[in-house]
Structure 1
Amino acid sequence: MSRRVPIESQSVDAPLTSSATFLVLTINDQPNSVSTVRSTLASVADLTKNVAIRDLNASFACTAGIGSNVWDRVTGLPRPAELHPFKEIKGSKHTAVSTPGDLFFHIRSERRDLNFEFERQLLDMLGTSVSVADETVGFRYFDVRDLLGFVDGTANPVGPAVDNAVLIAEEDAGATGGSYVVVQKYVHDLQAWRTLSTEQQEAVIGRTKLDNVELDDAPDGQQQSHKSLATIEDADGNELEILRDNMPFGSPGEGVFGTYFIGYSRRLWVVEKMMERMFVGEPEGMHDRILDFSMATTGSVFFVPSATTLAGLEEG
């Protein structure tokens, strides 16, 4: 009688840190690329330990995701039920663009140098099998605020609610312990944003700026705030949560100011519905006003398999 191997998830629920690197890669079409990628993915846990041991207080963690277009070739496993490429969402004024991405690495810790070292070793292992589609370095800004000046991530689940919101269970047996992750880069027009009064900014966001108090929703049929449009409920009125690990990024010298959106979810459709409400509007035509000041420049979907699945790729 065979013994059932317990499923261990990747560190999708790792604590928010002061520094993070978001790395999106594409796999090159050359001999041995897929085998190199598979071997590297199977070694992520060992590589993580190798870097984390240098400072056990730095909360170092890395999660790895695999895109829809390469899932079959890289894993040889059944596809997660909802896995597909990021769907472009085109509203009357703004578009959630879809951009290439085969692999995703969310690297985070309290020390930028540890993130740097992990990325260096990771890319050394991958070599010419991949190309970098996007590399973004994020940082914590004051008391977990974005560069628009508001606290970000308030609606995140906490405690036991995290696993229920993020990790797939019996509904998709082959993907148990895994999670979908959606990433987007938003670039802000801070000059235009600063022309708004604090009260106008608060109406856009749906929270007070100083003390982060939630404002009431607008009546049905009227313009909704970002907070309201980004809230998804089931048929019984229960909120379906996702886990956001958003971080600011940018360079004042280059005039670049942005937010890297990253949302982990047990249900990909929840994030997609959120995007639809933001870009198309609810009701249609009343898009999220934050988009008048923040433009999405990337958009990709990945599946984060369990750590058990990831480690087993070497044997596949």
Structure 2
Amino acid sequence: MPAAVPEPAAAQPILTPLSTAALILVVTIEPGGEAAVRDVLPDLGAFARSIDFRFPGIGLACVTGFGSDAWDRLFAGPRPAGLHPFQELHGARHHAPTTPGDLLLHIRGERMDVCYEWAARLLGRLGGAVKVVDETQGFRYLDHRDLLGFVDGTENPVGADARAAALVGSADPDFAGGSYVIVQKYLHDLAGWNALSTEEQERVIGRSKADDVEMSDAVKPANSHVALNTLTAPDGSEREILRANMPFGSFEQGQFGTYFIGYAADPDVTEQMLRNMFLGSPPGTYDRILDFSTAVTGTLFYAPCADFFDAPPPSPVPSGTESLPQPASAPVAQAPVPTGAGDGSLHIGSLQESAQ
């Protein structure tokens, strides 16, 4: 099991329950934009508090993470021990790509407009210092099901187990209370999936569809999604992560899928799950769900504890030597509807276009 996390560590709202809406933004930092990003970090909490005050009960939760390259561009001094670029995987039939991403903005709440408001404030401040490279608007679907029709996240740890699984502990004390988060956007072949019988779908997943009961080990296929994502430590305990997956869809683009968000105290836990899925365990026994669900993005981030943003580490660049890009106009609520393929949006305004 991961080492216990000291209670004083003030985590970002990683352990917050799944919400009705989520806005997930992956952002790159433009050359010379580092100072603008650093300048806004202490204000992130104030953005959320001001929105919470005006809209009580919305449950706004905003998590910010940094990619490996971005960390070196923004901060001097020690690095989180497990922070590295996403590990691309090439299996016999399926591929987990690595895609650009310097910042992750995982925004959740009970209303999409409130999620949009937080992101608009931030991107308005950053202007031309950053570029949104992936924008996905997620939504709760029925009784926490994905668009394949199965309940998602049933085995998520809760309480102290969730904290131990998701948050860095005493093994890396300088970064205790933070979390490693891997994100991937998966596009589903719903036509191919729906052509399967319910019984065959259940064999792919390893759970019953209607009542969400896991198959016994005696009948669960070795290449089922559940079998390949269940990891056991040498002491017999289960190695867990905290999933915050959300469905998304665009009728205009005809693209529907699941946005995978996995928080972990140790990124190797999530990475081992992905190796099992794409390479197989044993090798060649890849996750059958990949025949119907294609990964199109992949990035790894470290989300520091909340206190980190009040006093970030010093910049690796001497003060006054940064060359900032020309700021862009702040995003507004009447932003144009996106037209790019694969944005996962239900078209409640585009932060990608308005931030550029």
Q: Which residue of 2 aligns with 1:18?
A: 20
Matches of 1:232 and 1:84, distance apart in 2 = 22
Residue 240 of structure 2 corresponds to residue 238 of structure 1: no
Report if the CA contact (8 A) 1:246-1:261 is conserved: yes
Amino acid at match of 2:29: I
Which runs of structure 2 are paired with 1:112-191 in the superposition (5 Å)?
112-191=112-191
Amino acid at match of 1:86: F
- Partner SS, residue 137 of structure 1: strand
Q: Which residue of 1 aligns with 2:260?
A: 261
Report if the CA contact (8 A) 2:95-2:278 is conserved: yes
Residue 293 of structure 2 corresponds to residue 291 of structure 1: no
Q: Which residue of 2 aligns with 1:78?
A: 78
Amino acid at match of 1:143: D
Structure 2 stretches lacking a partner, 5+ long: 1-7, 316-356
Measured after TM superposition, the shift of residue 46 of structure 1 is 0.9
- Comparing 227-236 with 19-28, which one deviates more in the overlay? 227-236
Identical residues among aligned pairs (%):
49
Measured after TM superposition, the shift of residue 240 of structure 1 is 1.0
Matches of 2:170 and 2:278, distance apart in 1 = 32
Report if the CA contact (8 A) 2:76-2:313 is conserved: no
Amino acid at match of 2:184: Q
Amino acid at match of 2:306: A
Measured after TM superposition, the shift of residue 22 of structure 1 is 0.5
Measured after TM superposition, the shift of residue 314 of structure 1 is 8.0
Matches of 1:75 and 1:65, distance apart in 2 = 13
Residue 47 of structure 2 corresponds to residue 62 of structure 1: no
Matches of 1:269 and 1:248, distance apart in 2 = 25
Measured after TM superposition, the shift of residue 236 of structure 1 is 1.7
Q: Which residue of 1 aligns with 2:29?
A: 27
Matches of 2:314 and 2:279, distance apart in 1 = 45
TM-score by length of 2: 0.84
Report if the CA contact (8 A) 1:178-1:304 is conserved: yes
Report if the CA contact (8 A) 1:66-1:102 is conserved: yes
Alignment deviations for residues 189-233 of structure 1 (CA, whole Å, 9 cap, x no partner):
00000110000000000100000001023579x633101101111
Report if the CA contact (8 A) 1:39-1:313 is conserved: no
Matches of 1:118 and 1:110, distance apart in 2 = 13
Measured after TM superposition, the shift of residue 77 of structure 1 is 3.6
Matches of 2:312 and 2:79, distance apart in 1 = 14
Amino acid at match of 1:108: R
Residue 95 of structure 2 corresponds to residue 95 of structure 1: yes
Measured after TM superposition, the shift of residue 124 of structure 1 is 0.3
Amino acid at match of 1:180: Y
Alignment deviations for residues 8-65 of structure 1 (CA, whole Å, 9 cap, x no partner):
11110111100000000000013xx111101222221111112222222111110000
Measured after TM superposition, the shift of residue 176 of structure 1 is 0.9
Q: Which residue of 2 aligns with 1:3?
A: none
Alignment deviations for residues 239-285 of structure 1 (CA, whole Å, 9 cap, x no partner):
11110000000112321110000000001000000000000111111
Report if the CA contact (8 A) 1:218-1:224 is conserved: no
- Comparing 33-42 with 19-28, which one deviates more in the overlay? 33-42
TM-score by length of 1: 0.94
Q: Which residue of 2 aligns with 1:251?
A: 250
What is the RMSD computed on CA atoms of the aligned residues?
Answer: 1.6
Residue 4 of structure 2 corresponds to residue 7 of structure 1: no
Matches of 1:102 and 1:72, distance apart in 2 = 10
- Partner SS, residue 39 of structure 1: helix
Amino acid at match of 1:251: S
Report if the CA contact (8 A) 2:280-2:286 is conserved: yes
Structure 1 stretches lacking a partner, 5+ long: 1-5
Q: Which residue of 1 aligns with 2:43?
A: 43
Matches of 1:188 and 1:36, distance apart in 2 = 37
Measured after TM superposition, the shift of residue 139 of structure 1 is 0.2
Structure 1 residue ranges (4+ consecutive) displaced by more than 4 angstroms after TM superposition: none
Residue 275 of structure 2 corresponds to residue 273 of structure 1: no
- Change beyond 3 A, Cα 1:219–1:18: closer
- Partner SS, residue 16 of structure 2: coil
Matches of 1:311 and 1:147, distance apart in 2 = 39
